Structure 1
Amino acid sequence: MRIAIVGAGFAGLSAAKVLRQSGFDVTVFDKTPDVGGVWSRTRRYPGLRTQNNKGTYHLSDLPMPAHYPEWPTGEQVQRYLESYVDTFGLDAVLRLSTEVLSAELVDGETEWLIASRPTGSQDPPTWERYDHLVVANGIFSDPVVPPFPGRAEFTAAGGRVLASGEFHDLETARGRNVVVVGYGKSSCDVAIPLSDVAAQTHLVARELLWKMPKKLAGAVNYKYLLLTRMGEALFRYLSPKGFERFLHGPGNGLRRRMLDSVGSVATRQLKLRELGLVPNGTFEDIARSTVSLATDGFFERVAEGRIVVHRDRVISELLVDDGGTAARLADGTVLPADLVICGTGFRQHVPFFDAALHARLEDGSGNFMLYRQILPIDVPHLTFAGYNSSFFSPLGAEMAAVWTAAHLRGGITLPSRERMREEVRTRLEWMTARTKGHHARGTNIIPFSMHNIDEVLDELGLNLGRLARARQWLAPVDPRSYRRVTPRMIQRTAAATGDRSSVREAV
Structure 2
Amino acid sequence: MADEELDLAIVGAGWHGLAMAKTYSEAYPSARIALFDSAKSVGGVWAKERLYPGLKTNNMLGSYEFGDFPMCPDRFKVRPGEHIPGAVVNEYLRQFAEEYDLMSRLRLNTKVESAEVVEYGEWILLVSNTADEPSKMRGIKAKKLVVATGLTSKPSMPTFPGQSEFQGKLFHSIHLKDRAKDLESAREVVVLGASKSSWDTCYSAAISGAHVNMVIRPGGGGPSWVLPAFFTPLKLSIQRLATTRLCSLFEPCVWAAESSGFPWIRYLLHRTIVGRRLVSALWGVLDMIVLRANGYDDHPELKKLKPWTDTFWMGNNLGIHNYEQNWFDLVRKGRINIHVADVASLSGDGVHLSSGAVINADTFVCCTGWETLPSIKFLPEEVIDGLGFPSTSLQTSETLMQDARTRILKTVPSLRPGPRKVLPACAAAPIREHEAKNRGSTRSNYQLYRFMVPPSQKLFQHRNIAVIGAHLAVNAITVAQAQALWVTAFFNDKIANISDSKVSYREIEYQTILHAEYCRLRHPAAGGGAGHRCPDLVFDGLLYTDLLLRDLGVEVRRKRSWWRELFCRYLPSDYQGLVEEWVAKRIN
TM-score normalised by length of structure 1: 0.90
Question: Does residue 400 of the first structure (1) align with residue 483 of the second (2)?
Answer: yes
- Structure 1, unaligned runs of 5 or more: 496-507
Shift of 1:189: 1.4
Mean Cα deviation higher: 351-360 or 258-267: 351-360
Q: Deviations over 1:355-408 (max 9, x none)?
A: 544322133444322111111122241012212331111221111110111123
| Count of residues paired in the alignment | 485
Task: Name which of 216, 237, 245 aligns with 2:267.
Answer: 245
Q: Deviations over 1:441-475 (max 9, x none)?
A: 22433342111111111011113336559535322
Task: Name which of 215, 225, 239 aligns with 1:210.
Answer: 225
**Contact 1:45/1:164 (<8 A) preserved:** no
SS of the residue corresponding to residue 483 of structure 2 reads helix
Label 1:190 to 1:337 Cα distance change in 2 as closer, same or farther (>3 A): same
For residues 54-453 of structure 1, what are the structure 2 equivalents within 5 Å?
54-66=61-73, 67-69=77-79, 70-106=82-118, 108-121=119-132, 122-154=134-166, 157=167, 159-168=168-177, 169-173=179-183, 174-206=185-217, 207-217=222-232, 220-222=235-237, 223-241=239-257, 242=262, 243-248=265-270, 249=272, 250-274=274-298, 275-276=302-303, 277-287=305-315, 290-296=317-323, 297-310=326-339, 312-320=340-348, 325-354=349-378, 356-362=382-388, 363-364=394-395, 365-378=443-456, 379=459, 380=462, 381-413=464-496, 414=498, 415-437=503-525, 438-439=530-531, 441-453=533-545
Shift of 1:335: 1.0
The one-letter amino acid of 1:309's match is I
Label 1:309 to 1:466 Cα distance change in 2 as closer, same or farther (>3 A): same
Q: Deviations over 1:103-150 (max 9, x none)?
A: 1111x2421101112114323311121100011011111121222222
Q: Deviations over 1:167-219 (max 9, x none)?
A: 11432121431111111111101211111224311111122232221111576
How far apart are the structure 2 equivalents of 1:90 and 1:239? Answer: 35
Label 1:26 to 1:469 Cα distance change in 2 as closer, same or farther (>3 A): farther
**Contact 1:104/1:114 (<8 A) preserved:** yes
Task: Name which of 571, 584, 588 aligns with 1:478.
Answer: 571
**Contact 1:171/1:197 (<8 A) preserved:** no
Mean Cα deviation higher: 61-70 or 350-359: 350-359
Shift of 1:479: 0.8
Label 1:149 to 1:120 Cα distance change in 2 as closer, same or farther (>3 A): farther
SS of the residue corresponding to residue 159 of structure 2 reads coil
Question: C-alpha root-mean-square deviation of aligned residues, in Å?
Answer: 2.1
The one-letter amino acid of 2:321's match is A
Label 1:440 to 1:395 Cα distance change in 2 as closer, same or farther (>3 A): farther
**Contact 1:56/1:476 (<8 A) preserved:** no
Q: Deviations over 1:240-272 (max 9, x none)?
A: 542333332343333222222222121111111
For residues 462-501 of structure 1, what are the structure 2 equivalents within 5 Å?
462-465=554-557, 467-468=559-560, 470=562, 471-494=564-587
Label 1:463 to 1:140 Cα distance change in 2 as closer, same or farther (>3 A): farther
How far apart are the structure 2 equivalents of 1:313 and 1:468? Answer: 52
**Contact 2:126/2:137 (<8 A) preserved:** yes
SS of the residue corresponding to residue 235 of structure 1 reads coil
Percent identity over paired residues: 26
Instruction: Provide the residue aligned with 1:503 in structure 2.
Output: none
Shift of 1:486: 0.3
How far apart are the structure 2 equivalents of 1:352 and 1:213? Answer: 39
Label 1:178 to 1:460 Cα distance change in 2 as closer, same or farther (>3 A): same
**Contact 1:216/1:265 (<8 A) preserved:** yes
SS of the residue corresponding to residue 51 of structure 1 reads strand
The one-letter amino acid of 2:317's match is T
**Contact 2:225/2:317 (<8 A) preserved:** no
Shift of 1:77: 0.6
SS of the residue corresponding to residue 52 of structure 1 reads strand
SS of the residue corresponding to residue 556 of structure 2 reads coil
Label 1:4 to 1:40 Cα distance change in 2 as closer, same or farther (>3 A): same
How far apart are the structure 1 equivalents of 2:14 and 2:78? Answer: 19
How far apart are the structure 2 equivalents of 1:132 and 1:436? Answer: 33
TM-score normalised by length of structure 2: 0.78
Shift of 1:51: 1.1
SS of the residue corresponding to residue 205 of structure 2 reads helix
How far apart are the structure 2 equivalents of 1:109 and 1:300? Answer: 62
How far apart are the structure 1 equivalents of 2:561 and 2:524? Answer: 31
